[in-house]
Amino acid sequence: MTDQKSDLSRRHLLTAGMGAASAVLLASGCQALRPAAARPTLTGQPQPLDLAPDADIRCGIIGVGGRGTGVLRAIHNVPKVRVTAVCDLNQENLDRAMGIVADDQPTAFGDYQQMLKSDLVDTVFVMTPCYLHAPMAIAVLESGRHCYCEKPMAINTRDLDRMVRTVQDTGKVLQVGTQLPHASPWHGAIKAVHDGEIGEPVLIHAQRHNAGDLPHHIPWFFKRKLSGDTILEQAVHEFDIFNAIFKGVPTQASASGGQAVLFDPPGRDIMDHYGLILDYGKNQRVVYTHSWIAIPKAPHGGRVEMVYGTKGCVDVEAGMIYPRDGEPRKVNPEPAGDSTQVAVQNFFDCVRQGKHPLTDVIRGRDGALVALLGLKAIDTNRVVTMQELLAKGYSA
């Protein structure tokens, strides 16, 4: 992999939206980063949708495959929201989705640009393969609609930067589909750490060891240029949680990984295992492994996120606190519910109220930056700093 033509990219990062209408703060969430490599944040709140409180929000969706269909059902459950347009290239998927929301009487599209040219939608969900997220979400925002975009928000630093600028310049809501922190137990576990219940967080030990494989009938998952590799396509859920716990992004990563077991379907070029060490600052570290080669009947597979602090630890997945002195207890379970349903409801609340969502464009960018940092460390077989990544850029 080669670095992007990065002077331009860096200038964009440093000057993103700095005109009078769209001034951004150059704020660093990570103290160890020098100002020259800071990450722009948003100023102000988005405009609310201009709608009577009891009027329906009209919603379109692009991409109704596996994930899009699940999210479509969640949208359909939200009161005062109507699915008025459904778009997919795949006729079978389109027909199935149209059937699910038939009572909303949606219009079907094969071309998302035609959907955006219509006057049918106020909000659009982007549920397509990863390499399409940034161009589609940017087109949605520039057409004047609010957007919910699946993770990863983009698979290169240039598009991450463009997404932040577009949100700032259009004043629209952009929510990224890292839905876990919206619901229990993740919400309560992160809050427990921030409330000091384990003292200072020091070490996160985490893993996602998948048994079984990605669906072979969906080719884009297996091509790094389309999915961003498994580190962008899947692990951004974990990176979002690490960033939330340590309130920033890592200063550097060391990593190693490869493809040793899974070579089907033919042409597959994504890693089937890798490991990362992320440094978030003094005594703030993550050790993370991610693989698709776990054995179903063997122990220690699945997801683990343990946060060890000066006064105890939190099991994020189980929502349990283990104090150094005292008995284990559950974290506060609020808010409960299916994380996707809660996230989708939150998006429509933000659209009505004119608020940036919990998993906003900044959080989406920062999760993807961790993935690109790790990917570059794996590709180059050396320690890579966030400062270097921001200065030079990188692409899956």
Ligand X SMILES: NC(=O)c1ccc[n+]([C@@H]2O[C@H](COP(=O)([O-])OP(=O)(O)OC[C@H]3O[C@@H](n4cnc5c(N)ncnc54)[C@H](O)[C@@H]3O)[C@@H](O)[C@H]2O)c1
Decide: is 129 part of the binding site for ligand X (CB under 6 A).
yes
Q: Which of residues 266-295 bind ligand X (CB under 6 A)?
A: none
Q: Taking a C-beta distance cutoff of 8 angstroms, is the pair 202, 283 a contact?
A: yes
Of 124, 127, 342, 369, the one binding ligand X (CB under 6 A) is: 127
Q: HSE-up of 20 (CA within 13 Å, CB side)?
A: 0
DSSP β-ladder status, 384-385 and 329-330: unpaired
Decide: is 233 part of the binding site for ligand X (CB under 6 A).
yes
Q: In angstroms, what is the minimal distance from the CB of 360 to ligand X?
A: 15
Q: In angstroms, what is the minimal distance from the CB of 214 to ligand X?
A: 9
Q: CA angle at residue 376 from 237 to 209, to 5 degrees?
A: 40
Task: Beginning with the edge strand found earlier in the chain, give each strand of the sheet holding 284-294 in spatial order.
Answer: 329-330, 320-323, 312-315, 302-309, 201-211, 284-294, 273-281, 252-258, 384-385
Nearer to ligand X, 220 or 322 (CB): 220
Q: In angstroms, what is the minimal distance from the CB of 355 to ligand X?
A: 21
Task: Return d(Cα 167, Cα 362) in angstroms, integer.
Answer: 10
Binding window for ligand X (CB under 6 A); candidates: 62-70, 256-264, 284-292, 348-356: 62-70
Of 84, 128, 243, 345, the one binding ligand X (CB under 6 A) is: 128
Task: Return d(Cα 292, Cα 299) in angstroms, integer.
Answer: 15
Q: Which of residues 335-394 bind ligand X (CB under 6 A)?
A: none
Nearer to ligand X, 13 or 124 (CB): 124
Task: Return d(Cα 125, Cα 61) in angstroms, integer.
Answer: 5
The closest residue (CB) to ligand X is 65
Of 30, 82, 86, 150, the one binding ligand X (CB under 6 A) is: 150
Q: Which amino acid, one-letter code, is at 83?
A: V
Would you state the torsion angle of the CA atoms of residues 161, 165, 171, 175, taken in this order, to the nearest 10 degrees? 0
Q: Which of residues 202-231 bind ligand X (CB under 6 A)?
A: 218
What Rg, from alpha-carbon coordinates, does the chain have?
21
Q: In angstroms, what is the minimal distance from the CB of 68 to ligand X?
A: 5
Decide: is 88 part of the binding site for ligand X (CB under 6 A).
yes
Q: How far is CA 387 from CA 24, 35, 39, 251, 271, in A?
A: 19, 10, 10, 7, 25
| Per-residue contact flags (x/-) with ligand X for residues 64 to 83, judged by CB under 6 A | xxxxx---------------
Of 1, 27, 89, 260, the one binding ligand X (CB under 6 A) is: 89
Binding window for ligand X (CB under 6 A); candidates: 60-68, 139-147, 368-376, 384-392: 60-68
Q: In angstroms, what is the minimal distance from the CB of 4 to ligand X?
A: 21
Q: Taking a C-beta distance cutoff of 8 angstroms, is the pair 237, 338 a contact?
A: no
Of 10, 151, 172, 290, the one binding ligand X (CB under 6 A) is: 151
Decide: is 130 part of the binding site for ligand X (CB under 6 A).
yes
Helix (H, G, I), strand (E, B) or coil at 296: coil
Task: Return d(Cα 268, Cα 86) in angstroms, integer.
Answer: 30
| Residues at the interface with ligand X (CB under 6 A) | 62-68, 87-90, 93, 112, 127-130, 132, 150-151, 177, 179, 218, 233
